[in-house]
Amino acid sequence: MKSTLIHAARTFFRIQEARFKVASQHSQRVAFHALMLAKELGMSGKEQKHIYLAGLLHDIGKLGIPDSYLFKACKLTEEEWQEIKKHPVFSYEILSTIPEMKNISVIALYHHERYDGKGYPEGLRGEAIPLGARLLAVVDSFDAMTSYRFYRPQISFQMAIEELCRCAGTQFDPRIVEAFCCLWKRKDMSKSCHFESALRTFIGNGLISKR
Ligand SMILES: [Fe+2]
């Protein structure tokens, strides 16, 4: 029998997928990379599961942001940008309605914090930011840089790795960037399309359907 956690995660993921087709592919890549990185860092099986689900659902709060802001082709106004920056709080408010998703909601809340304290929503610094959120920040940024976005060019994997290294200690936790680079050098990340395999290993079948 599947747990409340898995049922709730599947429901939330389906809602997100119905609304944001392309973004849900981004979320699946982020989730898998986050899982690999959590393993690399020696996190527990329970923590790995939470990290994976936070990777899938961290941006669900974008459901509360108008399309005209999310998909605007030109530069956002300051007011529009301030609205978009509310999405981690919305993610937290949605996910924390399920008691079993408390840890996942906290990771989602802080996934745009920066190691140097210049992130949002609270401007937390260093290890005051939950480890899962520091980890997610690295893989989320890596996937954003290497994916096509209509408002900026896509860059190569190698360039994205160099950018992560450049920002280690400022935007990102340097220990997590180092672990990510080790994984990348070993090419473990090249298996990143095996989402179903990850689910079977860590979560169980049925969260994401085969299509
Ligand atoms: Fe986000």
Taking the centre of ligand 1 as the mean of its atom positions, its distance from the CA of residue 205, in whole angstroms, is: 26
Q: What is the CATH number of the domain that holds 128?
A: 1.10.3210.10
Supply the range of the domain harboring residue 129.
Answer: 1-203
Q: Rounded to whole angstroms, what are the CA distances from 14 to 9, 10, 21, 46, 207?
A: 9, 6, 10, 23, 9
Torsion of CA 140, 143, 148, 150, to 10 degrees: 10
How many domains does the chain contain in total? 1
**184 inside domain:** yes
Residues 32-80: pLDDT tens digits? 899 989 999 999 999 999 999 999 999 999 999 999 999 888 888 999 9
**211 inside domain:** no
Whole-prediction pTM value?
A: 0.88
Taking the centre of ligand 1 as the mean of its atom positions, its distance from the CA of residue 11, in whole angstroms, is: 19
Residues 144-198: pLDDT tens digits? 998 877 667 788 888 999 999 999 999 999 999 999 999 888 765 655 444 445 4
Taking the centre of ligand 1 as the mean of its atom positions, its distance from the CA of residue 171, in whole angstroms, is: 15
